[in-house]
Structure 1
Amino acid sequence: MSVTLSKEEAYTRLGAIVREMHEALTLLGSNQLNSIVQEIPNARDRLTYVGKMTEDAANKVLGLVEKAKPDCDHLATHGSELSQSLARMASAEDFSVDRARALLMVCGKFADRTARFAQDQAETLSDIMMAQDFQDLSGQVIKKVVDIINRTEVQLVQLLLDSSPGASTAESPDPSATQTATMNVNDHRLEGPQTADDALKQSDVDDLLASLGF
């Protein structure tokens, strides 16, 4: 039967848990665990940096698009006007060499303007592509943060095993499983989402916490 705790009782029990965990970390914390604790603020800074890089790239791309759009609209308008002029000239009864020569000059200027526009847009597209170069670096940063989280999970699970009541008589975890988890954490290849066989299963962690009374 479940028992409803008052706010004071819940606060007291939470404080006891925090105190116990603090003492356990102080007494049992290994160099690796301490290293992870020191890396957490660095991981937060890295994620903040990734967010800034992403925002800067998005703003740069939007700026380039906004800069290019008026030129596109201007070229489309002049192209439409030139097309109408050519159509009128073709249907005119008083077609003359002078009018044809004048219109050819207009067509030449439009062709020159179009060539410059194409060159400018090629540079704009190149700038947009270069603005995406942050993805390689941000992917590496995110992977390092994920590694920190994975190592933290492995170490905390091991800490719960070591500090739980009856830990000395409890069945030790499978060394091969621990080694596999460590290998997965230290694998520095940029991979996609982990499968259930490669990752530390959440159900296993939940079962472990339940067996320890958490």
Structure 2
Amino acid sequence: MSSPNEAAMIQPDTRARLGSIARELHEGLRTLGADTELHRVMQEIPNARERLDHVSRMTENAANKVLSLVESAKPEFDSVTSRGRELSEALARLSTSPDISVERARAMMKLCGDYLSKSSDFMEKQNSVLTQIMMAQDFQDLSGQVIKKVIDIITRTEEQLVMVLVDTAPEKIEVKAEAGSTEDLQGPQVPDKALKQDDVDDLLASLGF
């Protein structure tokens, strides 16, 4: 970026030439009828940036919420897993014990009952967690629509700029430009008529860019 001193050093004739170029470009676009579409697209670009920022925020919020839910559930999950393993080992020992008294059996049954009760509570909580995780992904439909809209804006901007280059190309390279089909640069953007990047690259190369 130029400093104030550097900007002040720009000669008046240079400023006049820059202004003349800007005016010529503006008049050329208006003559070609491209200024209206380009102006509309340029008005949409700031809105597109805001939409992408909104998508970024929604994605970040959803990711943070999912991570928070998983982190909060993990300790209890580890506890239930560990307790279940201990109970399984205790049952295995009891099953091989030659002396299984009624008291020991009742105590083991109580432990099993307590574990099942806690496991049931845990599963209910996890069902709620899974529901919240699923709901945290509801931004995807909206973000998909926003991203498609932004892609459409970028595509139309590219189309208009390429067509301006085609319409203003010198005669000596017009034939080369026409050799690359420009039909794909017009009409609605459906899958079989979408702007092909290879075609754009070839066209720009033929125009000397």
TM-score by length of structure 2 reads 0.75
Structure 1 residue 101: deviation in Å?
1.4
1:96 aligns with 2:91: no
Structure 1 residue 205: deviation in Å?
2.5
Unpaired runs of 5+ in structure 1?
1-14, 188-193
1:23 aligned residue: 23
2:204 aligned residue: 209
Q: Is the 8 A contact 1:24 1:163 kept in 2?
A: no
Structure 1 residue 199: deviation in Å?
2.6
Q: Distance in 2 between matches of 1:178 and 1:39?
A: 25
What SS class does the counterpart of residue 183 from structure 1 fall into? coil
What SS class does the counterpart of residue 182 from structure 1 fall into? coil
RCO (CA 8 Å, sep 6+): is it higher in 1 or 2?
Answer: 1
Unpaired runs of 5+ in structure 2?
1-14
1:198 aligns with 2:198: no
TM-score by length of structure 1 reads 0.74
1:59 aligned residue: 64
2:47 aligned residue: 42
Q: Distance in 2 between matches of 1:20 and 1:166?
A: 23
Structure 1 residue 83: deviation in Å?
1.5
Q: Is the 8 A contact 2:45 2:153 kept in 1?
A: yes
1:106 aligned residue: 111
**Residues 179 and 82 of structure 1: is their aligned pair in 2 closer, same or farther, counting only changes over 3 Å?**
closer
Q: Deviations over 1:137-189 (max 9, x none)?
A: 1111010001001110111112223334459xx57969x955873211xx5xx
What SS class does the counterpart of residue 98 from structure 2 fall into? coil
Q: Distance in 1 between matches of 2:208 and 2:185?
A: 26
2:120 aligned residue: 115
- Sequence identity, in percent? 51
Q: Deviations over 1:191-210 (max 9, x none)?
A: xxx5xx53323333233333
Runs of 4+ more than 6 Å apart? 18-21, 171-174
Range 133-142 or range 80-89, more displaced: 80-89
